[in-house]
A and B are shown apart, each in its own frame.
Chain A
Amino acid sequence: MTSNSESTQELPLQQVDRVVIRFAGDSGDGIQITGSQFTMTSAIVGNDLATLPDFPAEIRAPAGTRPGVSGFQIQFSSSDIHTPGDAPDVLVAMNPAALVVNLKELKPGGTLVVNTGNFKEQDLRKAKLDKNPLEDGSVDGYRVIEVDINERVKEALAELTISSKDKERCKNFYTLGLMYWLYSRPLEPTLKWLADKFKRTPELVEANQMALKAGYNAGDIRELFHSHYEVLKTESMPPGTYRNVMGNQATAIGLVAGSKLANLRLVLGSYPITPASTVLETLAGYKSHGVITIQAEDEIAAICAAIGASYGGCLGLTSTSGPGMALKTEAMGLAVAVELPLVILDVQRAGPSTGMPTKVEQSDLFQSILGRNGDTPMPVLAISRPSDAFEMAIEACRIAVQYMTPVILLSDNYIANGAEPWRLPEMDSLKPFPVHFHDDPSNMEVFGRNELGARPWILPGTPGMEHRIGGLERDSKGNVSYDPDNHQRMTLERQNKILNIAKTLPKPTIQGEAQGDVLLLGWGSTVGVLTRVFEEAKAKGQKVSRIHLRHLWPLPPGLEDIFAGFKKILVPELNMGQLARLLRSEFQHHDFVSLPKVTGQPFLTHEIVKEVDRILA
């Protein structure tokens, strides 16, 4: 730090329960790293937290422009939280574009930290601004903290011999340091992370660590802020061992767990696609677990390779997003026809077509349940949050191998890239479901069925059991058959096999009373916001309850009884009302109210609260 900084008195330390920070800057500014470091440290401190990364699809969109703005929002708290928060308390804007794109969402009276080093004439021009928003009244009503971060970093790293470009790239750690000071976070986790990240280039470790410390000290010394804050660790979290986890990572771990519980080798066929690619990358790193990953030439080859692996007695898996799902459709039909286990992970993004690849939507529900030629039923499950991904991935594997069927496991961009503390399972609580291959040549009913309706799984290589399977309709011995009655029977058997899965599923639990005015019904990544809406409604004395579906097809048992207890069933979804339509067709005697949203952003709490109030008015 500069030597002329004034020494100051200790600033007051205030305790707050929950804080929402949004970091915003160029997608090349390291915003996602800043955010994920803040997340990791907050998790280690013991806060409950939820995150919302929001970045453009372009890798390095033109610097300083509005479409190039990358954001990362985190809510951290000393009590239970369920969402990344509606409106930030603190907005860190690294340039004018980041400021104007995000300012309208900052809480009135909120804190705005701006990097004035990036508010020059040319920066304003890139953001298509005629006037400097810091000077034209736009930021009135906010507590504005102006720091020339570029200049401060240059000063702090003046002694170092690395290039000025490398120095400039340390500015996100200066910013992070400032925020660490403001919210009393320890520096050690990030210092350690930097040491590991840049271990091959020690000069970068030094530079980034210095920038982090300089930012922290600046908060302490320069009287930028009137006070600083402390968010104590969450006491209400159930006891256990925790780690911070992102959705795609937890999904990958769960799939490995599922294959191990089935006693099968996991074979992934995948083609890179946003936002599913990190599942492929993560699993490619699990080779010591026997996992095989095949980066295929296209989406079709990816699922076909997985089917080939399942045919060979492994657990085939393919991971993708909406457009890839469309391409895999025909192969899914083959897997249904030949009745082989397969897990299809769809990390949904906003559509249609290429749509908005880095934004969230839940609009592949119909595609998953219905989108195939012929009567081609498949189970569909949905992950609801990063900490739920492990369990749901295992559940998908279980259904696939026990019922000899492909299973669709839905996730979405919000879950995939979101992070939260995950209470780790006790290993002996995981129930194995080992597969038994059929090897008795005296019973060669290739499409005979057990009590679950599943056919036997016969491994190629088993002597005396040579047989053929294929996409042509077949009889119970596996031979091609165009017999009309046979097709009717086989179609029914395939349908019943899937519908009967419902019998083994638990009835959804109701949060709140079993009777009331409004039942909030959600699926997938809306679980956090719906929990928050439920809590607010309860606090207001509204007769609102909540259920969340994990199995979308077949639907779990007991819904008819649950629905009967409520006047209206509100179904908020990040699509145009797909689940609501499905429920209307399955349950004709209840009043479903659809609340669709397709902005590419998750629901905000108040958007759903407003709809509850409207219904109850």
Chain B
Amino acid sequence: MTLQDPPKRTRKDFQSDQEVRWCPGCGDYAILASVQKYMAEAGVDPAKTVVVSGIGCSSRFPYYMNTYGFHTIHGRAPAIATGLKVARPDLDVWLITGDGDSMSIGGNHLIHVLRRNVNITILMFNNEIYGLTKGQYSPTSPVGTVKKSTPMGSVDRPFNPLQLVLGSQATFVARSVDADPGHLGKILKAAHEHQGTSFVEILQNCVIFNKDFYKDAMERSVRPDKTVDLVAGEPVVYGKERDKGLRFHDMQVEACAPGDALVWNPSGPNSAPGFLMAGLSEQAGMPTPIGIFRDYQALRYDTEVNSQVQKAVAKSGQGNLKDLVYAGETWQV
């Protein structure tokens, strides 16, 4: 094998023998297909790949992947993935989570995996609803969401997931949508190639409990005019005719002529541009931003932890158990 090219793989090579059991029409099917397609194209080795997940509809994902997989407990996947990646830096670790799993019960672990910048790829499926528990509002549901647990409408403000993770010092932050495999494929590639924690929010349709929640922006016919794709090095321009531009003014995003549009740089020294763009949907008349909000290099926890071990060994030699036991003041009886 060593001197040959890696074997050509297809999407099928990444499909497990388990029957996929999401609801018919669920956005998860499209995401699964996109991930499998990307892995095949990128020449990923299934034996070296581990998909870790928490709890929720999205977290069933590992069962359908013909890689190594660990379906763990609610919210804790980032901690388990951290331990795995630190122990085994040679493995390619992916983490699948949802808005409830990562932004609610697992919020603490999410912010800390981002802070540590462990070299893993996180895909967060955001459907703004709890699906597996049959339709309660989630921490990303808008105020006024009427569901079984909020008969008069939810009253707590939702997280803006992108702003939350940017505030946690995430080094790679992107957003895509289940229904646009072309865009999703590009984002998956960029996220996977990033060294450090990559966080990708994927807007995902829950056809049972929150059908088409994103249709105002994401429906194919309106998408070009209602979304703006942030691409590094390109002007921030959108619209079917690419006739609308955006730029910063007075710490705000404002509309401008395409020729005056900002050239997007997600890799600057701070995350403020990404943060402002992530808040765009809350400004009236503005498009929903997708694409790459942040792409920045920083110290990686998994690498640093292992390099300290190597340094200690280089300095004092490979530890010997006898020296450890017989250390300090000893005496004979």
Contacts and interface: CB of A to CB of B under 8 A. Distances in A.
A494 to B, nearest CB: 17
Contacts of A296: 79, 82, 112
Given A267-B83, A288-B312, A467 B330 contact: no
B108 A469 contact: no
Interface in A285-342: 286-292, 294, 296-298, 300-302, 304-309, 311-314, 316, 330-331, 333-334, 338
B87 A461 contact: no
A313 to B, nearest CB: 7
B309 A312 contact: no
Interface string B14-55: 001010000000000000000000000000001110101001
B47 A331 contact: no
B333 A305 contact: no
Interface string B310-333: 011101111101101111111111
Interface string B52-80: 10010000001101111111110010111
A462 interface: yes
Contacts of A507: none
B47 A292 contact: no
Contact of A292 (B46, B50, B86): B86
Interface residues of A, number: 72
A533 to B, nearest CB: 26
A179 B145 CA distance: 73
A301 B325 contact: no
A62 interface: no
A281 to B, nearest CB: 15
Contacts of A292: 86-87, 305-306, 309
Given A307-B83, A461-B90, A390 B325 contact: yes
Contact of B325 (A427, A468, A470): A427
Contact of B73 (A306, A331, A462): A331
A467 B315 CA distance: 39
A46 B333 contact: yes
A461 B88 contact: yes
Contacts of B207: none
A129 to B, nearest CB: 41
B308 interface: yes
Nearest to B88: A312
B88 A243 contact: no
A469 B71 contact: yes
A506 interface: no
A interface SS class: mixed
A81 to B, nearest CB: 15
Interface residues of B, number: 61
Interface in A405-434: 423-425, 427, 430
Contacts of B91: 312, 460-461
B206 interface: no
B9 interface: no
A464 B112 contact: no
A480 interface: yes
Nearest to A462: B47
A308 B81 contact: yes
Interface in A462-514: 462-472, 479-480
B109 interface: yes
B217 interface: no
Contact of B329 (A44, A269, A306, A467): A44
A557 interface: no
Contacts of A427: 321-322, 325
Given A288-B316, A470-B70, A464 B79 contact: no
A288 to B, nearest CB: 4
Of the listed residues A316, A425, A466, A469, the one surrounded by the most CB atoms of chain B closer than 10 A to its CB is: A466
A304 B79 contact: yes
B84 interface: yes
Interface in B146-175: none
B321 A466 contact: no
Interface stretch (A119-127, A135-143, A164-172, A232-240): A232-240
Contacts of A305: 79-80, 82-83, 86
Interface stretch (A198-206, A252-260, A447-455, A522-530): A252-260
A242 B87 contact: no
Contacts of A260: 321
Interface in B102-161: 108-109, 111-112
Contact of A331 (B76, B88, B326): B76
Given A257-B325, A267-B83, A307-B83, A297 B112 contact: yes
A472 to B, nearest CB: 7
A471 B63 CA distance: 12
Nearest to B62: A468
Nearest to B53: A470
Given A330-B73, A427-B321, A471-B71, A304 B87 contact: no
Contacts, number: 214
Nearest to A316: B83
B329 A294 contact: no
Given A312-B91, A468-B62, A301 B329 contact: no
A593 to B, nearest CB: 38
B73 A312 contact: no
B109 A267 contact: no
A313 B333 contact: no
A308 B81 CA distance: 6
A423 B330 CA distance: 10
B69 A468 contact: yes
Contact of B47 (A239, A242, A288, A466): A466
Contacts of A298: 108
B82 A307 contact: no
B68 A466 contact: yes
Contact of A288 (B67, B318, B331): B318
A102 interface: no
Contacts of B316: 288
Contacts of B78: 301
Contacts of B318: 288-290
B305 A424 contact: no
A265 interface: yes
Given A288-B312, A292-B86, A471-B73, A301 B79 contact: yes
Given A241-B330, A300-B79, A290 B84 contact: no
Interface string A23-44: 0000000000000000010011
B73 A253 contact: no
A189 interface: yes
A244 B329 CA distance: 8
A304 B74 CA distance: 11
A309 B84 contact: yes
Given A287-B312, A288-B312, A469-B70, A237 B90 contact: no
B319 A290 contact: yes
Nearest to A479: B18
B71 A287 contact: no
A46 B86 contact: no
Contacts of A425: 325
26 contacts: A237-B333, A239-B333, A241-B331, A242-B332, A242-B333, A243-B331, A253-B324, A269-B79, A288-B309, A290-B318, A291-B309, A297-B109, A304-B76, A304-B82, A305-B80, A307-B72, A308-B79, A311-B70, A311-B80, A460-B91, A461-B48, A466-B66, A468-B65, A468-B69, A469-B70, A471-B72
Q: Which 4 A-B pairs have the closest CB atoms?
A: A308-B83, A470-B71, A305-B83, A289-B319
Interface of A: 40, 43-44, 46, 189, 234, 237-244, 253, 256-257, 260, 265, 267, 269, 286-292, 294, 296-298, 300-302, 304-309, 311-314, 316, 330-331, 333-334, 338, 390, 423-425, 427, 430, 460-472, 479-480
Given A307-B80, A468-B65, 18 more contacts: A253-B325, A287-B313, A288-B309, A288-B317, A301-B79, A301-B109, A304-B82, A308-B83, A316-B83, A460-B48, A460-B50, A460-B88, A461-B90, A466-B67, A466-B69, A467-B68, A468-B63, A479-B63
